Chains A and B, each alone.
Chain A
């Protein structure tokens, strides 16, 4: 490998490690966010990973009992569907509440969707494990819990189904009175943090060596062979 090649690959290595650090930082910032799924680099080829394109991991977070009937956790793969001003988005964050009009909303106030549009949630309603909303013995709606096959992107804390992705009803169980802990594994993230920092450093050293080699080629070689 000649010196300019070495410089270019060291630069690419530094870019890749910086992008990896971005993902680690986003994950660690969300170590306490219910229903959060950690980000994983996507793209089979090394070069694809440089752009920090990220998908979500499918690791299930631990379920934690809160005793609040509108706290919902999904046990198994799947997402709640939420109507945001930008369109339908998907999330596993089950910090839901009933707003004054009796509609079920997520922590940011966006409406949660059921089979018939936004879900009505009267005072004494409960959520069954199959997602049905039951009030006084009557099923009044069913939460839309979907699995997204195909590309999923994250934006603004929600998952977005990209064009071409297919949505199917998820088999996930809905657990009322529970929240899913963040899926971030702090030990793995901290280890990755250290390794990406060191890898960046190694690439920086390589770049410096390549630079040194080039400098010698430019200054020393002409001196020896005038």
Chain B
């Protein structure tokens, strides 16, 4: 009976962890470039039902392609395929992201909402229009200059094990020892995806699937709660053996 109590509690904790992961995914279903957590990695229970832990490399992320959405905004970039944008945070740290909702600042840098700047690009003063090719080459039209000016080259990065990147509180990925070696390359080469300007990549969250998973997890939670109740009932009956 005690084992049943412990197993029931472990089951409830595991389903709770799964629901937590799914709610994080649903909360970010509209965040550009968000990478979904894999709820099935949220909890591990031994088959004796007694031990609960998280899978190694907690909160495994799913690095699949999200839907591309045309925004017709010149500063919006999306990656169609493998790879991450390299950005430099306001504090000067290198970070990585799939989000491409950039806005240019007065110094010609392309900034994310948190102030991180896209690496490898600096728009010249007086830029009127920016075009980024699928290969990442940035061409600008500048006031007073004939023809296009090359303003940099957007490169993409990938790690040996992307899912083990650490997700910072700013929504950017930071390399860890477990994520392994960083590979850099031009878009469209060496397995990297191509760059799509005027597009944003939506979160790779399958909302309907997530809703279904929440329902299933909720029911599984209830089932485990019922086993706790049943074990409690058995203990009560055992205690009532001695009637006075």
In the assembled complex, A34 has its CB within 8 A of some CB on chain B: yes
| B residues less than 8 Å from A26 (CB atoms) | 3-4, 7, 47-50
Does A154 lie within 8 Å of B238, measured CB to CB? no
Partner of A100, one of B3, B161, B224: B161
B164, A21: Cβ atoms closer than 8 Å: no
Taking CB atoms and an 8 Å cut-off, the chain B residues in 1-47 that contact chain A are 1, 3-5, 7-8, 10-12, 14-15, 18, 38, 40-41, 43-47
SS class, residues of chain A in contact with chain B: mixed
Closest chain B residue to A207 by CB distance? Answer: B241
Complex Cα–Cα for A179 and B64 (A)? 16
Interface centre among B49, B50, B219, B224 (most CB of A within 10 A): B49
Instruction: Flag if A157 contacts B179 (CB, 8 Å).
Output: no
Chain B residues, CB < 8 A from A201: 237
Q: How many A-B residue pairs have CB under 8 A?
A: 158
Give chain A interface residues in 163-222, CB to chain B under 8 Å: 179, 186, 189-190, 193, 196-197, 200-201, 204, 207-208, 211
Q: Could you give, for residues 150-166 of chain B, a 1 whenever the CB lies within 8 Å of some chain A CB and a 0 otherwise? A: 00000000001101100
Whether the Cβ atoms of B4 and A25 lie closer than 8 Å is yes
User: Is B90 interfacial (CB 8 A cutoff)?
Assistant: no
Residues 164-199 (chain B) with a chain A CB within 8 angstroms: 164, 177-180, 191
| CB-defined contacts of A32 to chain B, threshold 8 Å | 14-15, 18, 40, 43, 216-217, 220
Tell me, rounded to whole Å, the shortest Cβ–Cβ distance linking B163 to chain A. Answer: 7
Task: Name which of B73-81, B124-132, B228-236 contacts chain A.
Answer: B228-236
